[in-house]
Structure 1
């Protein structure tokens, strides 16, 4: 049975603490209007250009303690949206079936919830709660109209639903632009989760300033080292991304005199014919490369041991193996080598090995979790 959406007030979060109004004073440089001392109720909006310029300026530079708090608050208030095609959410184009129950259900609502947490070490203010992104109301309005339409017209297909949607869609006349005939796509904003990304400052066709968030996993150049040891908490933004019009969304650090590049391999273990190397890889995942005698590799590779031809020459460039067989029942039987082989990225039932060399010696690599 579909779980109905719970009706609750998600339009506000209370700010508490010893001096909750100090929150406005901290954000005052970024507000569209000055704080009124006489009015009990007022609406204050953050001016995006000021806020984004500040976040871009303080991403790499050393900031003062007041600026650190401002940066922390602005990042807590920030959220990213994208335009999602409405039909792709209510209709499964593979199975050719409608899924309106999923959209009207409580699980879909979570995709519009903004989890807000604001804290101050001095306990002057505190706020924690969930806000509902306003576009959710429009998603529900259209979904329920289509649900009623299909109840009244049970034989209706995707074409009839599309036409009904256009009749419900309201597009302001001032926003219409004359252009060549194109495919009609109806989209609404929805919250987006970005694993890593950057903000691009650009101008629109009307010459107004826009900030566009772009999701990417190729942000970083490497990591700083501290006393010769890689500090994976100090990612370095790639030099080509250091620009006044490009702002990395996550924290970054200044380049020190001792650092390592993402694809730079370092030996972690070496003993005789066995060598294990590591490269930083990406912001969150490491690359592991091992060079070992084939006899040792064969003791780890259960699938190859079961094969009729057990030669290393039969190994393709990419090998998919069971994680449990290769790690728990293979590598991890060797206590000396175990610390140098973190679990693979998939970290579930199977993972991928990249075979780089075969023969009496086997060289392979993989991506960690």
Structure 2
């Protein structure tokens, strides 16, 4: 396999294996994307990425991280997303949406405003979680969801998947990573329930299976469904979610209709010790791909064309997702193609530059 080989999933074929990772822009109003999102996502489609995934888009107003988060919990948001999706697709990329609920990490300030919990004069809202445990000192203490609340979360994911289809998206990624609600249920650090949604691995992973099943019920069989997970909490051994449980989870969700695991890490602990380095999360993607026999995506400090090519050529992952590198260079796929001796057809408007 090579970085610029096509990658087929269900009825879709990605023209190459470079994907723009979901990156929050914190620039929406009442969940509505605007011109910023059109230019941000559209420029990366023009830049040659095979798939452009939206930022974590909330399945409910309560599920937003910040006031500036995009969402898809009403029809006005469907209408706002449509022209963005149309432009991405017209530019040769597949349009994907990441669906998310922030749980106890909701009701937060935008990063450039401090990033902590919203103060009393900043229009905070009630947060929810598996257990009434705040994310960190100074954060809101969330309400522990009862079973009716859990059922509502599952229903919200289902309804949002239907709206994503109506908006024209061709791929959904469910966000069960980075310490947000679904990950909060998975990790014993944030889930201390004693009912059927807590305690054992089977119980802690139940809501993830329920969300996948609910979304797959309304998401067309011919379209892919991806799942982003944190492979590890980077916690002391035996205390948090880890790679062994990640492999176990993936083996369970594959038969439910998940097509690819987007493998990240961290997010449950506010101050983890992470051994950062180029491609530091790639071994997790490689292990899940090998042991669970499912397609994976690698993400995390992947910044060079040869580095991305090696990940694919070595069979460590099936796609490479770039985040910060995509922010620095919307045309990273075109630059990578040139470095690897591959010709990407430019937009006709830019042909004179090639």
TM-score using structure 2 length: 0.21
Q: Which has the higher contact order (CA 8 A, sep 6+)?
A: 2
Q: Report the structure, 1 or 2, having the larger helix content.
A: 2
Higher alpha-carbon Rg: 1
Q: Report the structure, 1 or 2, having the larger strand content.
A: 1
